Structure 1
Amino acid sequence: MDYENYMELYEAIYFFSRLDCCIDNRLPKQLIEDKMKKLGLNESIYKAIIRILMVNNLLDYDGRCFVLTNENKAKYLHILNNIISKNQDDHYSALFNKGINESQFFFDSITDAEYEIYSRYNYHITFKIGKELAKHVNLANMKILELGGNSGGLGGALLLMNKDCSYTIVDTKIPCMLGNEFKKLNNVDITYIEGNIFKLMLTSASYDYIILMNLLHDFDDRRCLDILNNCMKYSDGNTKILVIEDILREEFEPKEVVMHGLRLSVECRGGKQRIIRELVGLFSNINYKLEKMIQLDTIHTMLVMGLCDN
């Protein structure tokens, strides 16, 4: 495999070299808490590193521990030396510092211009997912709220298939500005509300569907529960919550999903990909249960969550 421009793997190798905890070339599935504290890493960063290295055949697993064989080590050293020879140490030191920064959050660390570029690109990606979602959920005459919907690609696709539904997106200033631009270009009626998803102040009493796409994986469990509790303010007994993101299946994952796990660990302190059981556990706190699971594409899974029976 050609590793020359494989940036995500470079990042994983760099972080792995910081661990320096391999005894007899064996590494446990989970580091003990004291070791994690000493290294300044959280569990999600460690797991993301291991997944990246496993997918790229840089670690083996013997049923109890991850094993760095001589062949693994040769590949590992080749890639690490490649990084060093290109004098990228300053870049990776900065990356490491971002990983241990308690307040690190991706959207707080980019400029307005970068945020605009991100949001313009995001529209086309989420539009494709919306077209697939529309095949599985009938939103005719429904009232929909999407939190963190960015520039509205998902909503734009859904409205083309369900023109008679009411669609509201809550996000920050730049995504809302671009969303209003896109809705005119595509002739769809989306209401954009510039606001804070942790301090929702909406006039509507309740919605038929609340959509959380690529949102919960940006935050730790505590912040996720804040979001879910806010959802309950605008829910009634029939409200469904749709969770759409790269959910882990506790097995070998698509490469794109694994790469994103490392990005989340570095760019969003506390952010992590979750397995279905973890998401179901979060929703149990608001008395919601899993009703249906749908694979939208090779990366994104949709969970349909509904209120538990009393």
Structure 2
Amino acid sequence: MQMMTGIRMFVLAMQHGSLAAAARQMGTSTASISRQIAALETQLKVRLFNRGKRTLTPTEAGEMLLRRARPMLAELDEMIDSVSLLEAKPRGRLRVNIRALTASRLLVPALPRFLTANPEVEIDLFVSNDEDADLIADNIDVDIRYTRPDSTDLVAKLLAPSQLVLIASADYVSSRLLPENAEALGAYEVILYEPEMGAMPWQFVGTGGEVQSHEPQGRMRVNDGTVLRSAILAGLGIGMMPLHEVDEELAAGTLVQLLPHHQILHPRIGAEGIFAVYQKSAYQPGKLRSFLSFLPEVFAKGAT
């Protein structure tokens, strides 16, 4: 038991970057954390970290322990939570990774309902465009993303389909003819989402069922949906985004949908849907179970 406590203290110290931060998280003293880790080092007969002026750096042995202890402790915590709190209210800190626009448009406005219904749950919201976030290394409970993961160690729960739309600002198209097919898009400046998107053709299914392709060309590339929307609104060109991230602007008329009668086929952004991705486990903590039950109603808007 003493060794397990020491391992937990060591992992916390590494995650938070200092003994003091780990002590605050555990509600104990820095000296107590230090003693427990020192006892662990004595038992293992290795040095686990080097202490700098402001940070802790794991040794090779410390890195090995950290890599193996994180999933072990997570599994242990899930098991304890599932067994002892099966009928209890969800509790603890929930770490959620999500795109900025998806968070601001859909999740954040709905969070008051979730937090009111689950008063013992705290939420850490991390904003990132990384579709391949490492849930274990980043200590993420659930990642809301737009692609289904390849890993068999992860579960992907479909929250809603995600419809892509091709859009431009009303001012941008006011002096231009609206395109009738993909071939006509060559006359438009394109704002590309992520640098690698330039190598991917845009594909559309026309009104007659034929597949039309367009190689997007543009002088501006961005890696954030908020910036992409702002650039399109500013009239810098046309762009492709999930409908739920621009539905308000389309309704207000500040953005205009191009090729509205064409279905967009795309290999990445929004094409597969919106997923809640989490680690596969036989034990699911109450906080995660409650959050996963809450998400579908929130993201039902993403299908509209």
Q: Give 1 or 2 for the bigger CA radius of gyration.
A: 2
After TM superposition, the score normalised by the length of structure 2 is 0.28
Say which structure is richer in strand: 2
Higher relative contact order (CA 8 A, sep 6+): 2
After TM superposition, the score normalised by the length of structure 1 is 0.28
